[in-house]
Structure formats: structure tokens, C-alpha cells
Structure 1
């Protein structure tokens, strides 16, 4: 994770640089792994969380996100996380919250 956005509720929030070892790993079998709690925005790297992901591939869909992550281990079963891939190859994870809550990741090899 390289940046984090937590909006105060008025739309004025911007992504801010952050130093973190938090990483998402998307596997070809449709599973995703995070070395932190996938249920909430944060900077912690323990414990590991797992889930599944899917891309939104319906060209008729009027959506602002490219895909959805479904965490396996959240206390609330309806928890979902949306994501986008930016033009510069970064991953933006959007958590459900009243204010804007997001994390930005860069690809590592």
C-alpha cells in the first residue's frame, strides 16, 4: 500500500502517502489474500485475510468499479470491497463507508 484516503465526510479528502507492508495478492483461481484484516481499512498486516474476487465484465453495466472482492472472514456477511485498476497500473481498493475510504497499491514483482 502506498496511499490511503479517509474523507472527513465533505468530499475534501485526498489520497495521502503512507508507508505500509500491506499487500493484496490476486490469484488466478479467483481467490485473493491480504496480509491484514480485509474487513476494514487500515495499516495492520496481521492476521491474514482471504476472499474471492470477480471482475465486472458486463459492458451494459452502469458501474464505477471494475471488480468486487468478497472477504471470507468478516463479522458481517454482506461485506464487499470494490476495486479499480488505474491507467498507471495501480490498484485502488474502495471500502464501504459513509465517507470516502480507499487504499492505493502499486504492483510488486
Structure 2
């Protein structure tokens, strides 16, 4: 009986220390589709052949293999930043200011919306790969 109580106690401690409430956003996401509206409101998502990957970490940070800063000549800037799940926003530090990018998580799809970077709707759709 003492062994049973001992093992139960060890099991309880191990499960209590397990990570809880991990955001479904955490992990690697690969760009699969893009949407760029030319102004007629009839744009649809088209397959993308770009190798764009963004990774979200549990501590609220993110990294990407490409820059999220528009019109930035330094391609090393804009590859990392932070995110806030509650506000559904990504914040990417760019050369002179931070780029604020909206996102939406639907089922197993991440949709990133660039409201301030395009005059017409432009979005990217990602699928989780890890």
C-alpha cells in the first residue's frame, strides 16, 4: 500500500507540472495561399509557392524566415516580433516603427491580414506544419 501511495504521489506531482493552456498558435506555420485584391472586391485566395514560414513560441514571441516589414531595404529586419492571442495582433519591429498585423485562427488555418500595408485587402493563409 505504501508503494501505491508513493507512486500516486509521484504521478500527481508530474501531471501537476505539465504545461496547460498552450495556445493552438504555438508551432510552425507555412504559407499556402495569398489574397491580393486589385480593387474590384472579387479577390480569392490563390495557391502560393513561397517558402514563407512563421514560428510562434509559448512565451509570446515569433520568428520568420522572411521580413514582415513593408518597403524595408534591410531584409534582416522584421523577421521576429511578438504576438497577443487575446488582441489577435502581431507586432513586428521595423526600421522606424512597429508594424501591427492582424491575424485570425480558424480551425487549423492561420490568416494574416495586412490592413495598413495595402490599400485593398491583402491576406495570407498558413497551415500548421509542426
Gaps in structure 1 of 5+ consecutive residues: 41-45, 58-66
Which has more radius of gyration?
A: 2
Equivalent in 103, 112, 118 of residue 93 of structure 1 = 112
CA distance in 2, matches of 1:20, 1:108: 15
SS of alignment partner, residue 70 of structure 1: strand
CA distance in 2, matches of 1:32, 1:93: 14
Equivalent in 20, 36, 57 of residue 66 of structure 2 = 36
Which structure 1 residue ranges, 4+ long, deviate > 2 Å from structure 2? none
Gaps in structure 2 of 5+ consecutive residues: 1-30
1:86 to partner: Cα distance: 1.4
- More displaced, 75-84 or 20-29? 75-84
Equivalent in 89, 94, 99 of residue 79 of structure 1 = 99
Q: If the length of structure 1 is used for normalisation, what is the TM-score? A: 0.77
- More displaced, 23-32 or 47-56? 47-56
**Over aligned residue pairs, what C-alpha RMSD do you find?**
1.7
Name the one with the larger helix percent: 2
Q: For each residue in 1:28-67, what CA deviation from the matched residue of structure 2 results, as whole angstroms up to 9, or x when unmatched? A: 1110111101124xxxxx647000000126xxxxxxxxx1
